[in-house]
């Protein structure tokens, strides 16, 4: 089936709307994923997704689950717009001969989309991870201080410790630009590519082929629920497949470390230390959280994108002007 051509503004708006809706729905799970991935053996603050969310609400309040959401909501519009529009762009140019796209060409289109999106994804993830993980580090320091006080003076441990102020995205950005320049915001670029390119190579061909199963006519779009389910299945499958790369990326981009936690000099060093000190299962920390985040996120994204909300809005503009 030749894909119906949608204007570039419509693609960008559709991608942006999809990203905003998706992030709002699943951000607390994404925060839990980051905290679970970053904690290392011997310094475990959380035992599961539910344990992480319950402890976050108790220590930081309900809105603590949305720490870092503002960064995502600001940058997810261009990120998702670039990803979805780039995939369409590459699919269109790879199918100019009028023939059905082969699996290899679908994978190449996904590869191009994943490569393009890291322009926005890397700084977005860099800032988001610092904000999401600040609560875990603060809670760990508080626990260690309480344990030290109990061992030295039980009476002193009863005193409430001073509330630690968390840095804002603006403060982190300014400090990174001041100390390291623009490269500071792109720390972990290689690891982000290592995650997002394979993700797109798996996701887009899988979604396209699953979505086709729900099409009764090759020239008619699949029902919205088929696009939603296809996005969920393809997204969760791709998310789990590249989770080891996501763990490495999260560890490399974290600027602050908990007590006695490892630091890493690069992708190979990070991979080696995780394997040796935490075992191979550590590469799948937060995998089910990531699947729970990506499944609805991309399901919603594909529904919005394929339904074409932006096309309707853009078509209405001339009528309002008239």
The DSSP code sequence of 231-297 is HHHHHHHHHHHTHHHHHHHHHHH--S--TT----SSHHHHHHHHHHHH-GGGGGTTHHHHHHHHHHH
Residue 124's pLDDT is what?
92
Residue 246 forms part of a structural domain: yes
The confidence band for 261, taking pLDDT boundaries of 50, 70 and 90, is confident
Structural domain containing residue 190: 8-316
- Neighbouring residues of 89: CB distance < 8 A, sequence distance ≥ 6: 112
Q: Does residue 309 register a pLDDT over 80?
A: no
Residue 149 forms part of a structural domain: yes
- 54, 149 contact by CB (below 8 A): no
- The CATH number for 34's domain is 1.50.40.10
Q: Which residue has the higher pLDDT, 285 or 320?
A: 285
Q: Does residue 136 register a pLDDT over 80?
A: yes
Which residue, among 59, 52, 31, 37, has the nearest Cα to 164 in the 3D structure? 59
The confidence band for 217, taking pLDDT boundaries of 50, 70 and 90, is confident
Q: Using CA atoms, how far apart are residues 85 and 20, in angstroms rounded to an integer?
A: 16
Residue 2 forms part of a structural domain: no
Q: Using CA atoms, how far apart are residues 32 and 64, in angstroms rounded to an integer?
A: 11
Residue 267's pLDDT is what?
95
Q: Using CA atoms, how far apart are residues 257 and 236, in angstroms rounded to an integer?
A: 29
Q: Which residue has the higher pLDDT, 218 or 236?
A: 236
Which of 1-10, 158-167, 182-191 has the highest mean predicted lDDT (pLDDT)? 182-191
Helix (H, G, I), strand (E, B) or coil at 188: coil
Residue 244 forms part of a structural domain: yes
Residue 267 forms part of a structural domain: yes
Residue 322's pLDDT is what?
45
Residue 120 forms part of a structural domain: yes
Q: Using CA atoms, how far apart are residues 208 and 109, in angstroms rounded to an integer?
A: 12
Q: Which residue has the higher pLDDT, 101 or 179?
A: 179
Instruction: Tally the domains of the chain.
Output: 1
Share of the chain above pLDDT 90, in %: 42
pLDDT digits (tens, 9 = 90+) for 29-38: 999 999 999 9
Residue 5's pLDDT is what?
56
Q: How far is CA 40 from CA 3, 29, 33, 34, 37, in A?
A: 46, 19, 13, 12, 8
- 130, 149 contact by CB (below 8 A): no
Q: Using CA atoms, how far apart are residues 66 and 97, in angstroms rounded to an integer?
A: 47
Q: Which residue has the higher pLDDT, 297 or 116?
A: 116
Residue 3 forms part of a structural domain: no
Share of the chain above pLDDT 70, in %: 82
Cα dihedral sign, 125-126-127-132: positive
Query: Which range (44-48, 141-145, 160-164) has the least confidence?
Result: 160-164
Q: Using CA atoms, how far apart are residues 261 and 86, in angstroms rounded to an integer?
A: 38
Residue 322 forms part of a structural domain: no
């Amino acid at each position: 089936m030749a894909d119906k051509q949608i204007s570039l503004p419509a693609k960008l708006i559709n991608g942006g709307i999809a990203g905003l809706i998706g992030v709002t729905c699943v951000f607390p799970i994404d925060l839990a994923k980051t905290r679970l991935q970053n904690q290392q053996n011997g310094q475990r603050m959380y035992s599961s997704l539910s344990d992480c969310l319950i402890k976050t609400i108790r220590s930081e309040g309900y809105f603590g689950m949305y720490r870092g959401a503002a960064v995502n909501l600001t940058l997810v519009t261009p990120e998702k717009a670039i990803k979805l529009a780039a995939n369409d762009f590459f699919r269109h140019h790879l199918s100019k001969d009028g023939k059905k796209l082969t699996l290899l060409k679908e994978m190449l289109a996904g590869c191009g989309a994943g490569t393009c999106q890291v322009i926005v994804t890397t700084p977005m993830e860099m800032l988001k991870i610092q904000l999401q993980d600040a609560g875990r580090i603060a809670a760990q320091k508080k626990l260690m201080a309480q344990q030290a006080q109990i061992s030295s003076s039980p009476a002193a441990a009863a005193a409430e410790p001073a509330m630690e102020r968390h840095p804002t995205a603006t403060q982190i950005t300014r400090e990174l630009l001041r100390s390291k320049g623009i490269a500071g915001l792109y720390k972990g670029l290689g690891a982000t590519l290592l995650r997002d390119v394979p993700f797109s190579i798996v996701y887009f061909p899988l979604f396209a082929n699953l979505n086709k199963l729900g099409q009764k006519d090759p020239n008619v779009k699949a029902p919205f629920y088929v696009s939603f389910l296809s996005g969920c299945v393809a997204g969760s499958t791709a998310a789990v497949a590249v989770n080891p790369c996501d763990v490495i990326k999260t560890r490399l981009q974290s600027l602050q470390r908990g007590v006695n936690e490892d630091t890493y000099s690069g992708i190979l060093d990070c991979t080696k230390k995780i394997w040796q000190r935490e075992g191979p299962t550590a590469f799948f920390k937060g995998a089910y959280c990531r699947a729970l985040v990506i499944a609805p996120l991309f399901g919603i994204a594909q529904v919005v994108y394929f339904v074409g909300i932006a096309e309707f809005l853009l078509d209405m503009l001339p009528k309002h002007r008239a």
